[in-house]
């Protein structure tokens, strides 16, 4: 209902206008990415760096398709309020591991303006990894402000604000199993565009 808080027990699916990428397509693509990564890193050790919180679920699924010895670490970076980027990044959680001489794969949920990825590269490259590559589940190239390489890309999507599979709107909807667009009144009720 418009303007009202969601009732307790309210079904997440009632807020969805459209499924952009269904669960089976997501999982099939994640398996393919994992197999490609496994081929590319054969004979090497990998450090997989998931970017919290958005990429937590994609990282977990992708990591289980990577079949070379791999460590798992996480970083948490914040830059976003609602649907708009602030362009300012803050590291809330840094890595446990040293990266010196290691092959590093950064795992992101979505690349939009590219500013977060550029910040991450600038932040991690001075730690002298042997290599630094990026896997991103989603890519919104129409919104790009800075050119950043994506080595493993799940899907290209149009310029829509999406949720699900770890992606949130005001901290909700991360637990949807598909990539979805919310109904306009859901964004409006939260005081966003």
What residues are labeled active site?
112
- Partner from Mg ion, ligand XMP, none contacting 38, C-beta within 5 to 8 A by type: none
Q: Does 168 bind ligand XMP (CB under 6 A)?
A: yes
Contact stretch for ligand XMP (CB under 6 A) within 13-21, 27-35, 42-50, 159-167:
159-167
Site for ligand XMP in 52-81 (CB under 6 A): 54, 80
Least CB distance to ligand XMP at residue 168 (A): 5
Piece of 18-26, 37-45, 163-171, 183-191 that binds ligand XMP (CB under 6 A): 163-171
SS3 per residue for the chain: CCCCCCCCCCCHHHHEEEEEECHHHHHHHHHHHHHHHHHHCCCCCEEEEEEECCCHHHHHHHHCCCCCCEEEEEEEEEEEECCEEEEEEEEEECCCCCCCCCEEEEEEEEECCCHHHHHHHHHHHHHCCCEEEEEEEEECHHHCCCCCCCCEEEEECCCCCEEECCECECCECCCCCCEEEECHHHHHHCCCC
Comparing CB distances to Mg ion, the nearer of 37 and 165 is: 165
Indicate whether 155 belongs to the interface with ligand XMP (CB under 6 A). no
Count of residues near ligand XMP by CB under 6 A = 18
The minimum distance between CB 58 and ligand XMP, in angstroms, equals: 11
* Given 112, 133, 152, 187, the residue binding ligand XMP (CB under 6 A): 112
């Amino acid at each position: 209902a418009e303007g009202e808080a969601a009732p307790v027990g309210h079904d997440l699916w009632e807020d969805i206008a459209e499924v952009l990428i269904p669960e089976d397509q997501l999982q099939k693509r994640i398996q393919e990415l994992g197999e490609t990564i496994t081929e590319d890193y054969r004979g090497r050790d990998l450090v997989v760096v998931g970017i919290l919180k958005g990429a937590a679920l994609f990282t977990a699924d992708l990591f289980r398709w990577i079949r070379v010895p791999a460590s798992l670490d996480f970083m948490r970076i914040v830059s976003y309020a609602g649907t708009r980027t602030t362009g300012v990044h803050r590291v809330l959680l840094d890595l446990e591991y040293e990266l010196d001489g290691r092959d590093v794969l950064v795992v992101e949920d979505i690349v939009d303006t590219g500013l977060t990825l550029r910040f991450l590269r600038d932040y991690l490259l001075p730690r002298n990894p042997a290599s630094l590559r990026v896997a991103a589940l989603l890519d919104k190239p129409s919104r790009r402000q800075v050119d950043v390489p994506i080595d493993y890309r799940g899907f290209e999507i149009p310029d829509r604000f999406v949720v699900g599979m770890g992606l949130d709107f005001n901290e909700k909807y991360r637990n949807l199993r598909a990539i979805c667009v919310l109904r306009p009144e859901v964004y409006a009720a939260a005081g966003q565009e």
